Amino acid sequence: MNLGWLLLRIVIGLTILTTLFLSQRFYYRAIWRTTGRWRADWLRIWARLLYCVALTIVLLAFLDGLRMGRHGHLKPRDAVLAIFSGLWLSSAFFAFLFVEFVHGVERVWNWLRKSSRTRVTPVPLSAASTPVVERLADPSRRYFFRSASVLAGATPFFSCMYGFAAERLHYQVRRIEIPMANLPSALDGMRIAQISDIHLSGYMSRTDVRRAVDMTNDLGADLAVVTGDFITGSADPIADCIEEVSRLHAPLGVWGCNGNHEIYAKAENAAQQLFAQGGMKLLRHENAQLTLRGAQFNLIGVDYQRERSIDGQRMQLLSNMDALIRRDIPNILLSHNPNSFNRAAELGIELSLAGHTHGGQIQVEILDHRLTPARFISDYIAGLFERPLYKPSEEILVRREPDVPAANPQAQAARLYVNRGLGTVGAPVRLGVPPEISLIVLRRG
């Protein structure tokens, strides 16, 4: 076992759990202080009892959720509890961080103000004027930081409620034209419909998946692909998910690949079998030659590409691919992990389709910079990217094209499109990253 990798995972896990604990303690103490001012004893007792019962339910639902999708077969009433748990814990987590940030700014401000007083010779003031200045300055400062704390604590709760009620199921169709190296003229304009990261679970119902499938069918694509993460955990109904996916139709068929959550759920083989039963094909380190309007292209699919082994050792992405890649016709790769793109470009694969990141699931734009948790796992968060074909991946900087493709006709390039996914993980919330159905139109590059 790689000791450094193990220690890093332990530190990250303990940091998250500690912050969760501190956030709950923060609200526990706040509720106790608030109810302590109430005059009616019975009201104070019942309010505290209600909070304790609700917190117990949330914690039990959270512990159950750690078993990777245990809520998948819950009844609707229990699914509501799982959703409430996810909303409360995520909202409280970020609210605690925001409030502590404001408190930290206040402490720094007070320290700087105190330091400036000790360095600067005080200007003599009359005895009567000094208290007046203090009375005018201190209350306004305290009021400002108190208001900022309230706003910082409330913002995550309102944002999560909006992200749950409004954006989470607001499916958007994105049409992207992608220039592709070596594309035959007969394939110019070929349409590929892509969905990804369905995560059928307590957070995503079959009805929701069915609506996304119907929207995808309405696009009239030549080829339909699903790039992994059909479910979240082992108890989620993968058969139900793939049964809905089997309603997809396209002249060139429906194809897919496994994601990392199929590994967690030990459902990779089950997904393959269910795809076959539904008349589809799940590619597991396999390829297939497809023909449209008399021209061929090579479709490749791989299981989730791990970047590290269980003991923390770095792994080679897309290993043993030589037999799957064609040099005489264009190659399209289905790989759930977008981080395999560097290696795919190096191998000469012209187009990669991926998911995995959910587009960050939560994205905030500050001063033209997009901030999202997905930055911690990939440079390829969402949208279109390109890099030169056949170039060693370590020598080429990533060129990000998150929204609009920028074709370079002077150089052959490999391209990657990262779908923002349909479902959610952790918290049933999307902010600034609505779920996506992609319509990819291939153009001669």
pTM for this predicted structure: 0.79
Angle at 353 (CA atoms; ends 333, 190), nearest 5 degrees: 85
Which of 146, 167, 188 is where one domain is finished? 167
Do 431 and 308 belong together in one domain?
yes
- Element containing residue 429 per DSSP (H, E): none
Q: Which residue has the higher pLDDT, 5 or 445?
A: 445
Do 182 and 150 belong together in one domain?
no
Instruction: Report pLDDT digits (tens) over 413-431.
Output: 999 999 999 999 878 889 8
Q: Which residues form the domain of 68?
A: 3-167
Burial pattern 6-19, b for ≥16 Cβ within 10 A else e, equals eeeeeeeeeeeeee
- Residue 407 · residue 180 · CB < 8 Å: no
Eight-state DSSP code of residue 220: -
Give helix then strand counts, H and E, for the chain.
9, 15
Q: For residues 236 and 69, what is the distance between their CA atoms, to the nearest angstrom? A: 6
Q: For residues 321 and 319, what is the distance between their CA atoms, to the nearest angstrom? A: 6
CB proximity list for 233: less than 8 A, separation 6 or greater: 67, 68, 69, 70, 72, 201, 261, 264, 265
pLDDT confidence of residue 395: 47
Which of 139, 167, 195 is where one domain is finished? 167
Instruction: Supply the CATH number for residue 376's domain.
Output: 3.60.21
Do 201 and 259 belong together in one domain?
yes
Span of 110-114, 252-256, 406-410, 413-417 with lowest mean pLDDT = 406-410
Do 79 and 221 belong together in one domain?
no
Instruction: Report pLDDT digits (tens) over 148-174.
Output: 888 888 888 888 888 887 888 899 999
Torsion angle, alpha carbons of 150, 156, 158, 161, to 10: -160
Q: How many domains in the chain?
A: 2
Average the pLDDT over 226-246 and give the result.
Answer: 94
The residues facing 266 across adjacent strands are none
Quick one: which of 373, 386, 372 has its CA closest to 418? 386
Which of 135, 167, 199 is where one domain is finished? 167
In total, the chain counts a number of residues equal to 445
Q: For residues 5 and 141, what is the distance between their CA atoms, to the nearest angstrom? A: 45
